[in-house]
Amino acid sequence: MILAGFLLLAVGAVDLVRQFAARRWIGYLVVAVLLLVLGSVGDALLPMLAAFVVGALWVWCMPDDRPSPAGFWPAVLLGIVGVGAVVTLPERSGAGLIGEVWRLDSPVGAISFDLAVLVVGAAAFLLESANLVVRAALDGEHTWRPVERRELEPTPADAERADGESSASASASASEPTAAIDRRSAFQGGRLIGPLERILVLMLTLAAAYPLLAAMLAAKGIVRFPEISRGRETGARAEYFLVGSLVSWVIALGAAFLVWWSANG
């Protein structure tokens, strides 16, 4: 449990630094100090070292300014390691120095230090790191490609209407850039909606509020339907919505599974 928590915390923290910190090196230093303190007082030196390595590899494998060279496979590998750590590794009997003074109660019972680290790490990952994973998945499926060339070619009816016009004017009309649409310009609110949606999915799943969860996911599709339906000719907008939403939901449900298993395992 503590290994998965440290890994998710390291990855989520460095991505928050990349997104919001004006000087990244200061943010990375703060993250390193935070992990060092938690690892020292929580008797988790090996998970702390693993978090340093995984955080550095994540920054290299999942750049935030260009498509990931490895696609979303680093996230898949991280998920496998996290699930394996939670499912196979036994729960620790103690949490070092902080375990002697740690007391955190909740409506569902006491929350251990290891579980608290996992919850914070999962939440940090869902805020920004999951956005990078969704973007890598969309890049891998080419759902942000411009409208296909065939959309820009004149139809037979257009050719008939253009009969008699000069070749210069026909060429100018055929090169109109207004039809080209970059899928990155669509759904501009996704960078904010995605984290909020994933946090809600995490909380509603852990609270077993499945009717509310289903209603929220259905409401998203209803609200987005008018915008999705504009691209019915190529289906690109629907593909963008489905791929992005499904990947985002899988990440949130995976985080909920990790927390649930850790709390009840």
Half-sphere exposure of 95 (CA within 13 A, CB side): 20
> Which range has highest mean pLDDT (9-18, 153-162, 237-246)?
9-18
Helical residues (DSSP H) of 21-129, grouped into ranges: 24-41, 45-61, 73-88, 96-101, 113-124
Is the pLDDT at 35 greater than 50, yes or no? yes
Q: What was the pLDDT predicted at 172?
A: 39
Average pLDDT in the 5-25 region?
94
Two tokens, residue 69: 């060279």
Contact present, 83 and 258 (Cβ < 8 Å):
yes
More confident residue, 122 or 1: 122
The string over 11-29, giving b where at least 16 C-beta atoms fall within 10 Å of a residue's C-beta and e elsewhere, is bbbbbbbbbeeeeeeebbe
Is pLDDT at 97 greater than 90 in this prediction? no
Residue 123 DSSP SS3: helix
Tell me the backbone φ, ψ of residue 98, rounded to 5 degrees.
-70, -25
Q: Are 262 and 1 in contact (CB under 8 A)?
A: yes
Out of 40-54, 135-149, 211-225, 241-255, which region has the weakest mean confidence (pLDDT)? 135-149
Residue 234 binned pLDDT confidence (cut-offs 50, 70, 90) = low
C-alpha torsion angle, residues 111, 113, 115, 119 (rounded to 10)? 100
Mean pLDDT, to the nearest integer, of 75-93? Answer: 90
- Among the residue ranges 107-111, 140-144, 169-173, 188-192, the one predicted with the least confidence is 169-173
- pLDDT tier, 37 (very low <50, low <70, confident <90, very high otherwise): very high
pLDDT of residue 142: 58
Structure confidence at residue 85 (pLDDT): 92
Task: Considering only residues 180 and 203, tell me which one the structure prediction assigns the higher pLDDT.
Answer: 203
Q: Are strands 109-110 and 105-106 parallel, antiparallel or unpaired?
A: antiparallel
Which residue has 């750049």 as its token pair?
63
- Residue 166, pLDDT above cutoff 60: no
Read off the tokens for 205. Answer: 């799943």
